[in-house]
Amino acid sequence: MIDNHGRTVNYVRLAITDRCNLRCSYCMPEEGIAFAERAALLSYEEMERLLRILTGLGVDKVRITGGEPFVRRDFMHFLERITAIEGIRKIALTTNGTLTAPYVPQLKRLGIGPVNLSLDTLNEEHFYEITRRDEFQNVWRTLQALVEHEMEVKINMVVMQGRNEADITDMIALTRTWPVQVRFIEEMPFNGEGQHYAAWKWDFVRIIEHIQKFYPTLTKKPDPPNTTAYNYAIPGHRGDIGVIAAYSRTFCGTCNRLRITPQGLLKTCLYDTGVFNLRDLLRQGASDKEIATAIEEAVSHRAKNGHEAEAARFAGMPVSESMTTIGG
């Protein structure tokens, strides 16, 4: 598919659940949010059908996300099924790692990757403060298992003023001996509580400047097509570094992705309020062709960038959703 700005769209981020067993401060309030009822979620069969429709439209990369995918029952069986869909070239996964370690061998066998592991600190005390849960050791076991099984790993660290900026260099140290990419992400306002602009205290420029103070040999690498990250290497390190301007939104010009929320809402931009509900079309008996046509129509009216999408939200409604309801 080609959108109205000439961008090829070949990637979908599919959130299979809005539930998560952590309560990260940048994602939701401590008390959690009102999670969707099971009947409101897309079924695995509905998701599989949508992926088959999307591959017919040229989508060849899928990222499974949540919420936390592993809290949904029979998740691995679903992964098994979608790996058999003709036309899907790559299936990636985002996970918080708390429940993932036992499934790493199976993920390896299925060819899943890269695996993006959400880990905002290597300090166990800071981990508890950020996530409000005592799960660091389980996440660490997952990271070790992924590395031992030689899987492609990207560690996602959201940089937060006064919370974990002191942990940036510890995270970079992992790349010295492990072939992982550590990606530092600007904080976004998707915290389920309403807008807060802490991201501007640690935007991508400041993150890069901070890293250069400790690693003056930091070297810019070529950025792959459609990447969301500015990519860097440190001479002598096996892994590398990425910095994602998630709030500054500097990568919109090459955006190739759609999002489907756990309740079936199609989003053509992270910052929009959703275009229409695919679940409703499915349950109203729409044919594959009718659904494909609706998706193509939505893609032909995409916002140019995240700032335009945010400005077009209903009556200027501020960004206030939890990332767990959108798909991280």
Length of the chain: 328
* Pair type for strands 257-260 and 219-220: unpaired
Q: What is the mean pLDDT of residues 287-314?
A: 88
With contact defined as beta carbons under 8 Å apart, do 327 and 15 qualify?
A: yes
Main-chain dihedrals φ then ψ at residue 77, nearest 5 degrees: -65, -40
List the single range of 18-27, 98-107, 319-328 with lowest mean pLDDT: 319-328
| Domain annotation for the chain: domains and CATH numbers | 11-153+250-326 (3.20.20.70)
Candidates 144, 155, 184, 147; CA nearest to 168 is 184
The percentage of the chain sitting over the pLDDT mark of 90, rounded to a whole number, equals: 72
Q: What is the mean pLDDT of the chain?
A: 90
Q: What is the mean pLDDT of residues 169-185?
A: 97
Q: How far apart are CA 11 and CA 255, in angstroms?
A: 9
Residues facing residue 158 across a β-bridge = 185
Instruction: Please identify which residue in the block is written with the tokens 């992270």.
Output: 270
Q: Which pLDDT score, from 0 to 100, does residue 321 have? A: 58
What are 44-101's pLDDT values in tens digits?
Answer: 999 999 999 999 999 999 999 999 999 999 999 999 999 999 999 999 999 999 999 9
Q: Which pLDDT score, from 0 to 100, does residue 305 have? A: 84
Q: What is the mean pLDDT of residues 110-115?
A: 97
Q: How many CB atoms lie within 10 A of CB 68?
A: 25
Residues 6+ apart with CB under 8 A from 144: none
With contact defined as beta carbons under 8 Å apart, do 60 and 258 qualify?
A: no
The model carries a pTM of 0.90
Is the four-CA dihedral 108, 43, 261, 256 of positive or negative sign? positive
Look at residue 322 and tell me whether its pLDDT is greater than 60: no
Q: How far apart are CA 89 and CA 316, in angstroms?
A: 38
Q: How far apart are CA 96 and CA 141, in angstroms?
A: 12
Q: Which pLDDT score, from 0 to 100, does residue 320 have? A: 52
